[in-house]
A and B are shown apart, each in its own frame.
Chain A
Amino acid sequence: MSALPGIASIAAMALYAAFFLHAESQAQVLGLVALAVVGVPVLARVGWIARTATSLEAHPLAARSASVAALAATIALFHDQHFVMLMLASVALYSVACLGLTLQFGYAGVVNFAGAAFLGVGGYTSAVLGPHVPHALVLLIGGLLAALVGSILILPILRTRGHYAALITVAFGILFRSFVEVNDALGGPQGLQVKGMNLFGWELNSPLRDLSFYANYVFVGLALAAAAFVLVRRLERSWVGLNLDAVRLDETAAAVFGIDVARWKILAFTCGNFFTGIAGAAYAMMTGFVAPNSFTFGDSLILVSIVLLGGLGSAWGVPLAAGIVLIVPEKLQALQEYRFLLYAMLVIVILLARPQGLIARPAREYFPK
């Protein structure tokens, strides 16, 4: 099997993404959406997508290089367009947060409907500590605080299952929002300003040459996303991932085989929240503002929908789905008040056609070839 179909597909996707990001008018955007809705099933029918998948699996190095090249080309193409760069950076940071969620309910099966609250913990950490503490440390502390808050929340989650555990996280998300809303020290409902990121003397809000200053955040976001991605993939392949899978698939059976269910759930939940907290801290520094309105239950659902749309437990699916969930509604601005209507319909159509998510997680290979 040659690497060509895989590389060709990645190139085609990058080209499509470039056209999509460039599209301005309603007709162009809708045309491109329609092209994808019609084109992708046709490609699947003729077997191209399956060929792409096998080709990429057979040549992991080529797959990675092609992805990096495609990303680099996209960035080069849009380097001075602030809005596109902002959206790319948002996609990268949301990917980090959603990789955290993937660990939680993709692998260990611990549902978390309070993703936005953990983003918020990171964001508010940036707002409060930003002026006083080096920002690399702020990112770390944001992650640690989110993990810490999560480690309290995990107690009731461990005592419940299924819908009840989900309800606890929903309640926590609402609790978080009310807490910051009534807390004057945290700016109350009007929120807080956040300083732009400064990493070891590199001021991200001042542009490098003729790049948009948001390009700096794209670089940081991609670095974080790459780190999270590699970590999640390694975890998945390792014996840790094996244990997490066992816990998700059947808790009772896992316990019978001597797996400490609570321990793995705690690990996955805490690590996941750590990722989300870091993403929240970086995102807040980029947008320069945090307020309770950005961390509603609806925002948590956006995170969950990215994970489900990408394919539960699929690390490759996360950035793709994050791109769709964040960029499509922005591109549909031309539809004004109807844009979420169309966007929601699009998501439903995708999930009807691909109930396993865009890039379903492949079955684990217990005996590598």
Chain B
Amino acid sequence: MHNCVPRVFWAAALAAALALDAGAAKQTVKIAYIGPLTGGVSANGIGGRNSADLAVRLRNADPKARYRYELVSLDDECKPNIAVQAATKAASDNSVVAGVTHYCSVAAIAAVDTYHKFGFPAVVWGAVLPDITYRNNYAEVHRVNGTMINQNDVAAKFMTGLKYKRWVIIHDTTDYGKGHDKYFTEYLTKYGGQVLGRFGVTADQQDFTAELTKAKELKPEVIYFGGLTPIGVRIRSQMERLGIDAVFEGTSGIKSDSYIDGLGKLAEGSLSFIEGAPWEKLPGGLYFIGKYAQQKYDQGPEAYGPFAFTAAGLIMDVIEQVGPNRRKVIEELRKTRDRDSIVGKISFDDHGQNVVPLITKYVVQDGKWVVWEDSEYASGRRKLK
């Protein structure tokens, strides 16, 4: 914030002067993109960069746009210390108005303090850790993609909607598993489901007979599992051996082909919920993929590309409205309600978290993960237990 107020004032004054002079060339406004461009998850980072770049190019091609936009891309290497560096670089540069920031949770959670310090509006496009928006109440930080909170909200609502009442929860004892346990229980209680028992298991546990025997006595209708594929496979197969006749409801952690490979026929009817959706299912997916293909980028947008595209678009929409002024951009971003985007409606809550993020429900049908709405389970031809 230091020193930036007068310059932002000048920028705003300049913008006003330019707006008066209708014939003048468009003012250039910079926005930042930060993601992992090198290292193990660079495919996602480059996909996000290309998607944000696509949003900027489309906007610049639009004659009605008030400004010309320039994307400044920075690499956070998926490391917290480098993320703070990149965040400082973007946020301390007064010519950069806002940022589309971070795929990795660990990078995002480290950088939010920097955004707050510099009063830099940031829209997270890929990191899923709830704390990024919820630990502090930083007006600067927003997020267009969902978190495990939203995932469990959707999961609990959906399952209670199918008239299930009695759950047993099994979760691994990592942050991931414990988080799922916490939020699923919270929403299940809200929607009227009942948790009969819960079991924490370690992430490398082999034998679940003890837990499952107790679970069987409780006669649940659904076994909810918060954890990753390897133990998901073991639990599902040992359920069968013990003769537990319940629906197996997983989380994003088991939505993988290896889950089906590991279980074969037993995988049939398992459920999973994940943030985002295949592009075919996005409201604007076809439009996005079409435009993306036209630009001939070397690499695909990856799963979170549409969110980076959306975040960049949202920032530019707001700048079009209020001008390239960080404070005003923050105020206006906060007011985002029911705004249409290619990933569906966007509404920020008082922590800047998108509360209607896209969650997709999947069910295993004939050895494939099928979107619930397209499955024979939804059409009534098959039945879950």
In the complex, identify which listed stretch (A59-67, A80-88, A106-114, A146-154) lies at the interface while the others stay far away: A80-88
B42 touches A337 (CB 8 A): yes
- Asked whether B2 is an interface residue with its Cβ less than 8 Å from the other chain, the reply is yes
Residues of chain A within 8 A of B93, CB atoms compared: 83
B85 touches A330 (CB 8 A): yes
With A191-B110, A289-B110 known as contacts, the answer to whether A83 contacts B89 (CB < 8 A) is yes
A191 touches B106 (CB 8 A): yes
B80 touches A191 (CB 8 A): yes
Write the nearest CB–CB distance from B100 to chain A, whole angstroms. Answer: 15
Residues of chain B within 8 A of A189, CB atoms compared: 106, 175
Residues of chain B within 8 A of A210, CB atoms compared: 2-3
Write the nearest CB–CB distance from B305 to chain A, whole angstroms. Answer: 15
Which residue of A86, A205, A212, A337 has the most chain B CB atoms within 10 A of its CB atom?
A: A337
**Residue among A212, A289, A293 making CB contact with B78, cutoff 8 Å:** A293
A-B contact count (CB 8 A): 90
- CA separation between A294 and B129, bound complex, in Å? 18
Interface range on chain A: under 10, 10 to 19, 20 to 34, or 35 or more? 20 to 34
- Asked whether A160 is an interface residue with its Cβ less than 8 Å from the other chain, the reply is no
Residues of chain A within 8 A of B75, CB atoms compared: 333, 336-337, 339
A291 touches B88 (CB 8 A): no
| B83-109 contact mask (Cβ, 8 Å, vs A): 1 or 0 | 011101101110000000000111101
- Asked whether B131 is an interface residue with its Cβ less than 8 Å from the other chain, the reply is yes
B42 touches A288 (CB 8 A): no
- CA separation between A212 and B81, bound complex, in Å? 18
Residues of chain A within 8 A of B82, CB atoms compared: 294
- CA separation between A210 and B91, bound complex, in Å? 17
Quick one: closest B residue to A182, CB to CB?
Answer: B174
B110 touches A288 (CB 8 A): yes
- CA separation between A86 and B92, bound complex, in Å? 11
Quick one: closest A residue to B92, CB to CB?
Answer: A82
- Asked whether A290 is an interface residue with its Cβ less than 8 Å from the other chain, the reply is yes
**Residue among A83, A87, A190, A330 making CB contact with B109, cutoff 8 Å:** A190
Interface range on chain B: under 10, 10 to 19, 20 to 34, or 35 or more? 35 or more
- Asked whether B74 is an interface residue with its Cβ less than 8 Å from the other chain, the reply is yes
- Asked whether A316 is an interface residue with its Cβ less than 8 Å from the other chain, the reply is no
B81 touches A294 (CB 8 A): yes
- Asked whether B137 is an interface residue with its Cβ less than 8 Å from the other chain, the reply is no
**Residue among B85, B104, B109, B131 making CB contact with A86, cutoff 8 Å:** B85
A190 touches B81 (CB 8 A): no
Residues of chain A within 8 A of B78, CB atoms compared: 293
Quick one: closest A residue to B45, CB to CB?
Answer: A337
**Residue among A80, A184, A293, A333 making CB contact with B3, cutoff 8 Å:** A80
A288 touches B84 (CB 8 A): yes
Residues of chain B within 8 A of A178, CB atoms compared: none
Residues of chain B within 8 A of A54, CB atoms compared: none
- Asked whether A340 is an interface residue with its Cβ less than 8 Å from the other chain, the reply is yes
- CA separation between A86 and B129, bound complex, in Å? 27
Quick one: closest A residue to B129, CB to CB?
Answer: A190
- Asked whether B49 is an interface residue with its Cβ less than 8 Å from the other chain, the reply is yes
B106 touches A81 (CB 8 A): no
Write the nearest CB–CB distance from A52 to chain B, whole angstroms. Answer: 32
With A190-B131, A191-B106 known as contacts, the answer to whether A290 contacts B3 (CB < 8 A) is no
With A287-B84, A337-B46 known as contacts, the answer to whether A330 contacts B79 (CB < 8 A) is no
| A188-213 contact mask (Cβ, 8 Å, vs B): 1 or 0 | 11110100000000000101001010
Write the nearest CB–CB distance from B135 to chain A, whole angstroms. Answer: 9
Residues of chain A within 8 A of B131, CB atoms compared: 190
Quick one: closest A residue to B37, CB to CB?
Answer: A337
With A83-B93, A188-B174 known as contacts, the answer to whether A289 contacts B80 (CB < 8 A) is yes
A80 touches B80 (CB 8 A): no
**Residue among A83, A190, A205 making CB contact with B105, cutoff 8 Å:** A190
A339 touches B110 (CB 8 A): no
- Asked whether A283 is an interface residue with its Cβ less than 8 Å from the other chain, the reply is yes
Residues of chain A within 8 A of B80, CB atoms compared: 191, 287, 289-291, 293-294
Residues of chain B within 8 A of A289, CB atoms compared: 80-81, 84, 109-110, 113
Which residue of A90, A290, A293, A339 has the most chain B CB atoms within 10 A of its CB atom?
A: A293
Residues of chain B within 8 A of A288, CB atoms compared: 84, 110, 113-114
- CA separation between A337 and B36, bound complex, in Å? 9
Residues of chain A within 8 A of B118, CB atoms compared: 82
B89 touches A81 (CB 8 A): no
**Residue among A205, A330, A336 making CB contact with B89, cutoff 8 Å:** A330
Which residue of A189, A214, A336 has the most chain B CB atoms within 10 A of its CB atom?
A: A336
**Residue among A86, A190, A191, A340 making CB contact with B88, cutoff 8 Å:** A86
**Residue among B73, B81, B106, B129 making CB contact with A336, cutoff 8 Å:** B73
Quick one: closest A residue to B42, CB to CB?
Answer: A337
A337 touches B106 (CB 8 A): no
Write the nearest CB–CB distance from A95 to chain B, whole angstroms. Answer: 16
**Residue among A83, A184, A291, A339 making CB contact with B106, cutoff 8 Å:** A291
- CA separation between A120 and B86, bound complex, in Å? 21
- CA separation between A80 and B1, bound complex, in Å? 11
Residues of chain B within 8 A of A90, CB atoms compared: 85
- CA separation between A290 and B114, bound complex, in Å? 14
- CA separation between A90 and B84, bound complex, in Å? 12
Write the nearest CB–CB distance from B41 to chain A, whole angstroms. Answer: 11
Quick one: closest A residue to B107, CB to CB?
Answer: A293
Residues of chain A within 8 A of B106, CB atoms compared: 189-191, 291, 293
Quick one: closest B residue to A181, CB to CB?
Answer: B174
| B309-346 contact mask (Cβ, 8 Å, vs A): 1 or 0 | 00000000000000000000000000000000000000
Write the nearest CB–CB distance from B15 to chain A, whole angstroms. Answer: 22
**Residue among B38, B85, B114, B175 making CB contact with A190, cutoff 8 Å:** B175
- CA separation between A175 and B78, bound complex, in Å? 20
A287 touches B175 (CB 8 A): no
- CA separation between A336 and B46, bound complex, in Å? 9
- CA separation between A290 and B78, bound complex, in Å? 13
**Residue among A214, A293, A333, A337 making CB contact with B79, cutoff 8 Å:** A293
Listed by A's residue number, 19 A-B pairs whose Cβ atoms lie within 8 Å are A80-B3, A82-B118, A83-B93, A86-B88, A184-B175, A189-B106, A190-B109, A190-B129, A190-B175, A283-B81, A289-B81, A289-B109, A289-B110, A290-B80, A293-B80, A333-B74, A333-B86, A337-B37, A337-B75
Instruction: List residues of chain B with CB under 8 Å of any chain A CB.
Output: 2-3, 37-38, 42, 46, 49, 73-75, 78-82, 84-86, 88-89, 91-93, 104-107, 109-110, 113-114, 117-118, 129, 131, 174-175
User: What are the nearest 10 A-B pairs in CB distance?
Assistant: A289-B110, A82-B92, A287-B84, A337-B37, A289-B80, A83-B89, A291-B80, A294-B81, A291-B106, A293-B79
Additional pairs, 6, CB under 8 Å, beyond known A80-B2, A190-B109, A333-B89: A82-B118, A86-B84, A210-B2, A288-B114, A293-B107, A337-B42
